[in-house]
Every structure is written in structure tokens, then in C-alpha cells.
Structure 1
Amino acid sequence: MERIDTDILIAGGGIAGLLASAVLAEIGFDVICADPVPPVTDGAAAGADTRSTAFLMPSVQLLERAGLWPRLAAHAAPLRIMRIVDASAAEGALETADFVSDDIDQPAFAYNLPNWLIRREVLAHLQTRANAQLLAPCRVEGMLARSSGAIVTLSGNRQLRAPLVIAADGRNSPLRKAAGIAAKKWSYGQKALVFVVHHPDLPHENVSTEVHKSGGPFTLVPLPDAHQSAVVWMATGPEIAALNTLDDAAFAQAATARSAHVLGALTLVAGRATWPIIAQQAARLDGPRLALLAEAAHVIPPIGAQGLNMSLADLAALAGLLAEARNAGQDIGAPALLARYSRARLPDMAARIAGVDALNRASMASAAPLHGLRRQGLKLLHGVKPLRKAAMFAGLGAGARQAP
């Protein structure tokens, strides 16, 4: 049996696990990331993740400190305006509210990149780091927590010892379940269609647009090509199933209608992938020699770019505590330290899950009186400058600071 020693094992090689590997390696830890499936780094290959991720500014700052952002910035589309459009009026009139990054002295709210490309660039970065390694395919088959460290059994007849294991192994996290950490889960009866569109009539002008009607938002997120956008179309399960029966031309017509024509006619470039919409919240983020990260800790609907950015807020908090402990000569997997991590993240995590839950339920509303309330709420939020600025800072999340 091969025996491996490292400072930190990260279980899960999705975007969150790879980014965690890069951030923790940058601050001097020896890191091994194990994933059952090798990452797909070609957008045209089978199994490529066709979704995109918008990195909010606090996340961009974390990636800058890790030396990652120069690799990603060249491929990113800045999101300088967040536009919310209510298209629920029977007469077809649109209620539009623009939230502009200039109003809070930010160059952009976020920068958007395709997920497969993020994996490609982060992997290339990790290959330049002697203290970071990806094992894939490699499955975590068991973990034994002891006072001196964790002993982890890996596939391929390998055993690993580390002071700390980070579970970034997804919403159904085997490590979370093995540690006995409960997770509350609920469903909305929704699914999301993810795809890329071309809109030759109008450029996106770095505006991310959420169109609300009923069933869930239809979101157009800019890509580097001014005439291409990534789309997340949330609707009820039966609606998504019906849309998936359409050929590309009919589907593009349906997408154009649902977009309220805000970018003119849409044609399908890539996709369609379907994802279930759920929310999930772990009761705590720590276990013996174990820290939960990303979807092992929380899952939310894809609204307001909160999902992965919450994960990077987890990572920033954990990395700070680990560096502090190491510099003080302390155990990086000590129960007290991991409990501090959990206490630090749980309030913000719960607040964001509750906020996105409320937004999603409002976007699902189909009754006309509820549409009216949603419109009035949007007018109030956008029309009162202090409320508008507070909402923009709140959306940016941890690390954003409101000017006095």
C-alpha cells in the first residue's frame, strides 16, 4: 500500500475544490486534491460543464492574492450593470431597474467565465505549484479521525495521513454523512436549463439581466463575446421537460419570448443542460479533523451569483484561520479551530440562503396580485438610493465595504 503524507487533503475536484487547492498552496500548505472523475477542460468535449460562474469582487480579490486572477482575467466578461426586468404585466409593459457598479465605486460587480475554462486555467496554475497535487481519478473510500490527524483510505490501494481533511465533495457529501453532520434540504419543484445564446441584434454591453415573469427568473449573463451570453432559465419541472422536447429553432424562439426580447432574437450556441433546483444547509461546518466547504455545506438556487461566491467566502475564512494557527505553531485540524470556522460562517451562510430563498419564491409567483407586489418592491428598492446601495453591497457579500 502506498502511504502519502500531506498537510491538507481536499476531497472533491470541482471548481471549489480546485480553487481551495490553489489558495491553500499559495499560503504555504502542502495540498492534495482527490476527485473520482478527471476534470473536463475542453468546452466542446463530452461531459463539459456548460455553466458559467460570475466571480463577485471579494472573490476576485481572493483569487488575486492566490496568483490566479491573471490567468482568468483575460477570459472574463465584466458585469458592470445588474438589470432586473419584471415582465409579468398582462399588457407586456416592462418594469426595469438597473444597479450600476459605479454607484458603489466598483469597476464591476463580477466577472463571468465558463466553468470548463475555469477548470482548465486553475489546473494549469496548480501544475506550477510543487506543493499542490491533483489525484484523479481517485476516490476517498474512508476516513478515520484521530487526535494526531486523519487517516484516509484512497482508491488505488493508497493511504493518506493529514492533519485536516476538507470536504468539497458535493451536495451529497459522503464525508459529511460519515461525520454525522445533518443537512436540511428542500425543493422548489423547479429545474434550470443552462445554455449559451448568440444575440446578433444587440450587444450585452456588460449588463447581466434577470427577467422575472413566473416560475423563476430567466438570466442572461455576459460572455467575453459582446454578442453571446450564458443563460440560466429556471421554471417548473414540467415546463423544463416540455422545453427539452423542442428542436433548436423552436427552443430559440421560446427563449427569445421568455427573455422579453431584451437582447433581440436569440439563437442557441451550446447547451442545453438541466439541473435540479434545491436548497440545502448543513447544521455545522466542522467535524473531527473535517471542514465542510462549498456544496457540502450549502446549496442555493442560481440567483444573484451567490453559490460559488459563498463557497469562496468559506474558503477565505478557513484559509485565514489555518494560516493563523500554523504561524502560531498550532494544530490546523484542532477541534477548537474548526469550530471557530463553523461559527464564523454559519450566520452569513444562513442569511444568504434565506435571502435567495425569498427571492426565488417571489420570482416563482404566478398570481397577478403577487406580480404587483413584486413590481412595487422593485420600484422601492431601486428608487431609494440608500436602499439601492445597501442592496448592492449586500449582494457582493463578504469582503465588500459600504462607503460612509
Structure 2
Amino acid sequence: MKRQTTDIVIAGGGVAGLAAAAAFGTAGFNVTIIDPTPPVTVGDQDGSDLRTTAFLQPAQRFLETAGLWSKLAAHAAPLQIMRIVDIGTEKPVTRDFDAADISDLPFGWNLPNWLLRREMVARLAELPNVDFRAGVGFRAMLARTSELIVTLSDGSQLAAKLLIGADGRNSAVRQAAGIGAKTMRYGQKALTFAVTHDAPHDNVSTEIHRSGGPFTLVPLPDHDGKPCSAIVWMDKGAEVNRLAALDADTFETAANDRSGFLYGPLRLATRRMVWPIISQIADELVAPRTALVAEAAHVMPPIGAQGLNMSLRDLSCLLDLATAKPVHLGDPKMLATYARQRHPDIRLRVTGIDALNRASMAGRPLAQSLRTKGIEALYGAAPVRRTLMNLGLGAG
């Protein structure tokens, strides 16, 4: 079988990998993207990803450069206010972080993951220099001075200047590169689903804290004429498994109790899905001719919309370096610069989200009281509040 040549091979056809292929393809690079599982692009089909992703402002700008935002904007629900509600103490505390304090735009925009895949796949079909091989996975790689040979699961080989590992927390690319990862486990899982409710969400993303983990409602476009929100409900693994097994009526009762009825009665609009919660950082971000991005490089609990937005910051950094000097694509200097620019930010944000998650898990009265006082203190100092909002958007 004849070995084919390309500029970039992307392993992983999730949202991050598809965004990478669109961005590098739009920039003029020849790209081959592979994934052993073809993407599910219909919401009610078995295997569809019913989670949602909130794209913050820098991520939205990246999607524009990739030719994606024009396809996504009409389906997105804006996030104008981030609301934190602590109902774990005798006196509940509510604090709002309003994007208007720092920007003329919303904090971000929320979209269903299955729809993201649909529109991203459509974008790749428009790019003649992008080859999407769904159903084909990564098997092995051999780095040379001037190129890298990638062997695929169908036995074919590709010669490329750069391999981007966007193949998830159990990344085969990371393992093939001999890169380890530090993993922190919390004994938590996340239950994800969408609901309709009577009260309008008014483009407010609401994170409700009690014990076990946050219960977050993120705005979605209306569903069947009703206000709609995506929910991420984090708790101890055994409790999430119990909730996932409840019949719909009993589950809705539990969800209404956990939400404090802030939106009125919640009614299931989708099936429920369960995801394990961990934090993880790869020991290194690069190997010869190889860069790790997204969950191959870092994983964190779904708090503050940081996960995929960090992934797109990885891609934005790589794209900037690649387009600045295309002749040096994948060489040691480019990859060392990528690692130097991204690793500190990754460590800062993973550590910060880890601390927020541990505080949210607090079940003892004293710990809950300290969490509440921390929310009040951070909100009360205007310069600190603005700094936190800018950090959340990826600035600083």
C-alpha cells in the first residue's frame, strides 16, 4: 500500500478534533483526521452526545477563523450572566457575574454537542484539503527528523509534519509517545440531561451548590415552545448511579428538589447520560513531531465552562505557531514553544477547578459556611470579581 503524504494528522474526531481539522484546513494546511468511531450527528440517535458546550468569547473567535461560527450562531443560546447560588447553609447566597461588567458581548454561547458535530462535519466537507476518515483509528507512529510516519488501524500509513493527539483522556497517541499523566479521582460522576421549565432562563447560567457537587443549569434555545436548559448534576458516584436508574417521574421530583425550584418544575426533555469526573494533566504536552491537545493533555470537572474552552486555547496556540512559520511545522522549536506557552495555563486552571470542585463537594456545615463566605468575599470586591471574570474568559 502506497504511503500518502499530508501536513497534519489529527487523531480524534470529537468536538476538539473536528474543530482542529476545520481550523488548520481553513488556514490552508493539508489535514487528515481519523477516528475509529464515526460521529453521531442526530440528537435522538443511539450514541449521540447529549451534553452541551458553552463556548466563551475567545473560543467563539477561534470558531470564526475556522469557518464554523456562521454555521453555529443560529443554534446558540447566549450566556449573559453566570449566577452562583449556595443553598447548602441556613441563609442561601446568590451572586451574579454579569458579562456587561467587562464586555459588550455575552460570556459565551451554549450548543448541544451532537449539533456541533453535525455542523463541524459539514464544514470539513467544504474543505478539499481535509480528509476525514471516520471508522479508522490510530495504531502507531514513528518520528523522524523531518517527518512522522503514522500507521492507521486499517494498515495504511501517512507521512506528516505534525501529529495532533486529540483522542481523549485515554489517548492512544499519548501512550504511543510514552507520555504519562497524573490523574486525580473524586469518587464523583456527572449526570447530564436537558429539561424544560416554566420560568425563562433569561440567558442566565445558574450553578447551584449544596453538597456532593454543583447542579448547573445552562441556557438552551426553547424546546417545544418552552424555556429549556442543559443540566450537569455532579454528585458521588453511587448517588449518580441511583439517580440515573430512577423512573422519569421520580427523577424529576429529585431534580426539582435539588434545583430549589428556582426555575419552577423541571421536566425531562432528553434521556440521561452518566460521565465519570476526574482531573488529569499529561506529564508532557509534546513528543517528537507530536502535540497533545484537549483531553489528551488535560481533563477537569465540568465547572466554569473551562474544559473545551481550554482545548480551543491549545488549538489556537498551535495554529498561531503553525501559520507564523509554516516551514517549521512540527519541528522541535515550534513544539517547545507550544509547551512553554500552554503548560502554565493548564496547570493553573486545572488546579483552580480542582479546588472549586472540592469546595463544592463539602458536606459538613463548617465547610459549607466557609464556601459561602468565600463566594461572598470574591463577589464583594469589584476588582477581584472583574479579574475572575476575565480569567474565566481566558484572559490574563
Distance 1:64 1:116 in 2: 19
| Maintained 8 Å contact 2:221/2:228 | yes
1:346 aligns with 2:349: no
Query: Which of 358, 363, 372 is 1:361 aligned to?
Result: 358
User: Which shows bigger deviation, 145-154 or 16-25?
Assistant: 145-154
User: Contact 2:19 / 2:66 at 8 angstroms: preserved in 1?
Assistant: no
Query: What pairs up with 1:175-190 in 2 under 5 angstroms?
Result: 175-190=173-188
Answer whether contact 1:2 1:157 (CA < 8 A) is retained. Answer: no
1:152-175 residue CA offsets vs partner (Å, 9 max, x unmatched): 111223111101100011101111
CA distance in 1, matches of 2:280, 2:208: 25
Question: Aligned partners of 1:239 and 1:275: how far apart in 2?
Answer: 13
Match of 1:82 in 2: 82
Matching of residues 34-113 of structure 1 within 5 Å: 34-90=34-90, 93-113=91-111
Report the alpha carbon displacement of residue 337 of structure 1 after superposing the two structures with TM.
1.3
State the one-letter code of the partner of 1:26: T
| 3-state SS, counterpart of residue 229 of structure 2 | strand
CA contact 2:82–2:204 (8 Å) conserved in 1: yes
Letter aligned with residue 4 of structure 1: Q
CA distance in 2, matches of 1:102, 1:139: 44
2:282 pairs with 1:282? yes
Structure 1 counterpart SS, 2:325:
helix
For 1:324 and 1:280, the matched residues in 2 are separated by 30
Partner of 1:312: 312
Q: Shift of residue 2 of structure 1?
A: 4.1
Equivalent-residue separation in structure 2 for 1:146 and 1:184 (angstroms): 28
Match of 1:124 in 2: 122
CA distance in 2, matches of 1:146, 1:242: 51
Indicate conservation of the 8 Å contact 1:281/1:299, yes or no.
yes
Map 1:2-401; keep pairs closer than 5 Å: 2-90=2-90, 93-199=91-197, 201-225=198-222, 227-326=227-326, 330-397=327-394, 400=395
Taking only the aligned residue pairs, the percentage that are identical comes to 54
Q: Is the 8 A contact 1:88 1:213 kept in 2?
A: yes
CA deviation map 1:114-141 (0-9, x unaligned): 0000000011111111111210100111
DSSP 3-state at the match of 1:270: coil
Unaligned runs of 5+ in 2: none
Which piece of structure 1 moves more, 8-17 or 60-69? Answer: 60-69
CA contact under 8 A between 1:195 and 1:269: conserved in structure 2? Answer: yes
Kindly provide the amino acid, as one letter, of the partner of residue 374 in structure 1.
Answer: R
TM-score (structure 1 length as normaliser): 0.96
Q: Which amino acid aligns with 1:206?
A: N
Distance 1:259 1:281 in 2: 32
Aligned residue-pair number: 393
How many Å apart are 1:51 and its aligned residue? 0.1
The alignment partner of 2:328 has SS state of coil
The AA in structure 1 aligned to 2:108 is A
Once the two structures are TM-superposed, the CA of residue 275 in structure 1 deviates from its matched residue by 0.3
Shift of 1:245: 2.3
Q: Tell whether the 8 Å contact from 1:37 to 1:137 is kept in structure 2 after alignment.
A: yes
Runs of 4+ in 1 over 4 A off after TM superposition: none
CA distance in 2, matches of 1:382, 1:341: 34
What CA distance in whole angstroms lies between the structure 2 residues aligned with 1:123 and 1:338?
Answer: 28
Between 2-11 and 68-77, the greater mean CA deviation after superposition = 2-11
